Amino acid sequence: MIEPGDEFEIVTDTIAHGGACVGRHEGQVVFVRDAVPGERLRVHIDSMGKGNRFAHAHVIEVLEPSPSRRTHPWPEADALLTPQPVGGADYGHILPDTQTRLKKQVIAEQLTRLGRMDPESDLLRGLVVDALDRTPDGGWRTRVHWAVDDTGRLGMHPYHGADVLPVQELPFAVEAINALHLWEGEWRNIQRVDVAAPSSSDPALVVLTAAEGIIPEEIVDDVDVELATCLPAGQEVSAVIVPAPVSGRQRGEKPEPQLVRGTSEVHEAVTAPGGEKLMFRVGAGGFWQNHAKAPDWLMNTVAEASGLEPGQTAWDLYGGAGLLAAGLADRVGERGTVWTVEGSPVTADDAAHNFSPEGRARTSGARDTEVVVTRSGVEQALRRWAAGNGGPHHARSRRGGPRADVPQGSPDVVVLDPPRQGAGRRVVEAIAGAEPSRIVYVACDPAALGRDAGFLRDHGWEPTWLRGVDMYPDTHHVETIVVFEKG
Ligand SMILES: C[S@@+](CC[C@H](N)C(=O)[O-])C[C@H]1O[C@@H](n2cnc3c(N)ncnc32)[C@H](O)[C@@H]1O
């Protein structure tokens, strides 16, 4: 029987969802971090899983390396160099082509195991995972964050740990982020530092989250001095301090965010399907895709996968600042309708702005497209839609007319792009109940996708198109797009 603290040799077999490799020791399954399939390793058992049925381990020594192993490009994240590697690059020790191949295996495995798809189906056998290029500076991430330690220095957390380990330059970040040298500051009274480096000519936006009990207004001057210490001469930046998040139980007025320099938003430039340049406003803390090349790829791929025709109606659930909605609006044109639903107040406000007359997220073919932006949880919005469209909670607005915040009529296509936990049974069933002809599921977690694919298949929806995209290099994360059609 394996116990925490045990050390032994093991040969790793396959890759598992979540980044670890699977091996066996005396008949028991062991999930080994920092490994590559097919390696002989010496491992240390860190913990046992549910009912002691499996164990979690990390590598102490590589006895026979895989030909796909490389020196980790980031020493602070290299498990062979440090006992507490920082998170955020758990595939860094694997050659890039092998990373993509392993991600393909994980998608296929989750769609088979949880989605009950046939592993021998043409779709799974022909699965392609595209890899997005990095920017010329070698980075890819346009959104990063650091934790702050007790002395005000920037750092990152280790895998599943609360410590803050000092970290300076981030090798995966685009140059515009590392150029700020923020690690040279002492960020007292700050608990977290986020940076957004936009694709437009706007300067990067630094969002500093105040420590618990600190009022942003009182530390504006300190933060400004610290910025002056770090930034190279002539380096422009925007910076805003936001208050510490409040838990549901805390009462009283929340302190206001305080602008320190520049503006509290950035603009993101994206190339639409016909080649036009669109611009999206993204406010401080608002959602935007992380990989510099992801917005173009996603907008274009999803628009095409939707198969939408002029005059049709599309739903864009978990819509963010309207990235995918803009591509859908371009396809349905001036007689069509797009309904986009977003739960975060900042991001929903960005979407509303982006499709307003002042916004710049419409292609020339979508100037008059009806784009309805609803700030709401998706589940609640779908309930309101059902109530206004003869569903189980059929109802009119309080004034007696149709409900203003949801469109009338059924969708032709539903696109959904939920966060990691996926959409879940209730949302999936509500979408199926709206009877679109096509559902396009954009997933950042293959296991949640597999589970939701299983729900859709229970209702007679079958995957008809599938594509992966490796837009999180050096991590185990991967994006998958699946088109489902009825029957
Ligand atoms: C993966 S992002 C996709 C955003 C957008 N499609 C894009 O590509 O930019 C998911 C979005 O869903 C929002 N969100 C998360 N849970 C939600 C919920 N239950 N209801 C509505 N929106 C939600 C998040 O704020 C985030 O903007």
Q: Is 32 close to ligand 1, i.e. is its CB under 6 Å away?
A: no
Q: Is 424 close to ligand 1, i.e. is its CB under 6 Å away?
A: no
Supply the residue whose CA is at minimum distance from atom 1 of ligand 1.
Answer: 419
Mean pLDDT value of segment 296-302: 98
- By the 8 A CB rule, do 476 and 468 touch? no
pLDDT confidence band for 391 (50 / 70 / 90)? low
Mean pLDDT is lowest, of 105-114, 390-399, 416-425, 440-449, for: 390-399
pLDDT of residue 253: 77
Instruction: For residues 228 and 411, give the distance between their C-alpha atoms in angstroms, rounded to a whole number.
Output: 52
Residue 143 Cα to ligand 1 middle (Å): 16
CB burial readout 415-430, b (16+ within 10 A) else e: bbbbeeebbeeebbeb
Closest CA to 209 of 195, 226, 190, 187: 190
- By the 8 A CB rule, do 219 and 210 touch? yes
**pLDDT tens by residue, 150-173:** 999 999 999 888 899 999 999 999
Cα angle 280-271-340, degrees, rounded to a multiple of 5 = 45
pLDDT of residue 248: 64
Q: Is 419 close to ligand 1, i.e. is its CB under 6 Å away?
A: yes
Mean pLDDT value of segment 116-122: 97
Supply the residue whose CA is at minimum distance from atom 19 of ligand 1.
Answer: 377
Which positions ≥6 away from 357 have C-beta within 8 Å?
none
pLDDT of residue 402: 44
Q: Please enumerate, by residue number, every residue annotated as part of a binding site for S-adenosyl-L-methionine.
A: 289, 318, 342, 417
Residue 362 Cα to ligand 1 middle (Å): 20
* pLDDT(472) > 80: yes
Cα angle 130-133-134, degrees, rounded to a multiple of 5 = 140
Q: Could you tell which of 268, 342, 420, 445 is best to mutate to test the pocket of ligand 1, judged by most ligand atoms within 8 Å of the CB?
A: 342
Mean pLDDT value of segment 462-475: 97
**pLDDT tens by residue, 411-451:** 999 999 999 999 999 999 999 999 999 999 999 999 999 99
pLDDT of residue 250: 61
pLDDT of residue 116: 97
Phi, psi of 468 (to 5 degrees): -105, 155
pLDDT confidence band for 398 (50 / 70 / 90)? very low
Closest CA to 324 of 312, 336, 314: 314
Q: Is 342 close to ligand 1, i.e. is its CB under 6 Å away?
A: yes
pLDDT of residue 111: 98
pLDDT of residue 160: 81
* pLDDT(218) > 60: yes
pLDDT of residue 247: 72
- Angstrom CA distances, 327 to 110, 207, 305, 350, 413, stand at 29, 29, 11, 16, 13
Atom number in ligand 1 closest to CA 288:
9
- By the 8 A CB rule, do 31 and 57 touch? yes
Mean pLDDT value of segment 38-42: 98
Residue 151 Cα to ligand 1 middle (Å): 34
Mean pLDDT value of segment 358-385: 96
pLDDT of residue 291: 98
Residue 419 Cα to ligand 1 middle (Å): 6
Mean pLDDT value of segment 133-158: 94
pLDDT of residue 407: 84
Atom number in ligand 1 closest to CA 344:
25
Atom number in ligand 1 closest to CA 380:
20
Closest CA to 280 of 210, 342, 236: 342
Supply the residue whose CA is at minimum distance from atom 11 of ligand 1.
Answer: 318
* pLDDT(392) > 50: no
**pTM summary value:** 0.95
Q: Is 427 close to ligand 1, i.e. is its CB under 6 Å away?
A: no
- Where in the sequence numbering do the catalytic residues fall? 444
pLDDT of residue 399: 44
Atom number in ligand 1 closest to CA 316:
6
Look up tokens 């300190």; give the residue: 222
Instruction: For residues 109 and 480, give the distance between their C-alpha atoms in angstroms, rounded to a whole number.
Output: 13
Residue 325 Cα to ligand 1 middle (Å): 12
Residue 273 Cα to ligand 1 middle (Å): 22
Atom number in ligand 1 closest to CA 444:
1
Supply the residue whose CA is at minimum distance from atom 12 of ligand 1.
Answer: 318
pLDDT of residue 249: 60
- By the 8 A CB rule, do 480 and 449 touch? yes
Q: Does the interface predicted TM-score (ipTM) exceed 0.90?
A: yes
**pLDDT tens by residue, 89-99:** 999 999 999 99
Q: Is 323 close to ligand 1, i.e. is its CB under 6 Å away?
A: yes
Supply the residue whose CA is at minimum distance from atom 6 of ligand 1.
Answer: 319
Residue 466 Cα to ligand 1 middle (Å): 21
Q: Is 377 close to ligand 1, i.e. is its CB under 6 Å away?
A: yes
CB burial readout 209-236, b (16+ within 10 A) else e: bbbeebebeebbebbeebbeebbeeeee
Q: Is 92 close to ligand 1, i.e. is its CB under 6 Å away?
A: no
Q: Could you tell which of 143, 287, 379 is best to mutate to test the pocket of ligand 1, judged by most ligand atoms within 8 Å of the CB?
A: 287
Higher pLDDT: 332 or 409? It is: 332
Q: What does pLDDT average to over the chain?
A: 94
**pLDDT tens by residue, 229-281:** 999 999 999 999 999 998 766 667 789 999 999 999 999 999 998 899 999 99
pLDDT of residue 161: 86
Atom number in ligand 1 closest to CA 415:
6
**pLDDT tens by residue, 170-216:** 999 999 999 999 999 999 999 999 999 999 999 999 999 999 999 99
Instruction: For residues 468 and 441, give the distance between their C-alpha atoms in angstroms, rounded to a whole number.
Output: 12
Closest CA to 268 of 183, 198, 218, 205: 198
All domains of the chain in start order, with CATH:
7-69 (2.40.50.140), 143-197+203-262 (2.40.50.1070), 266-486 (3.40.50.150)
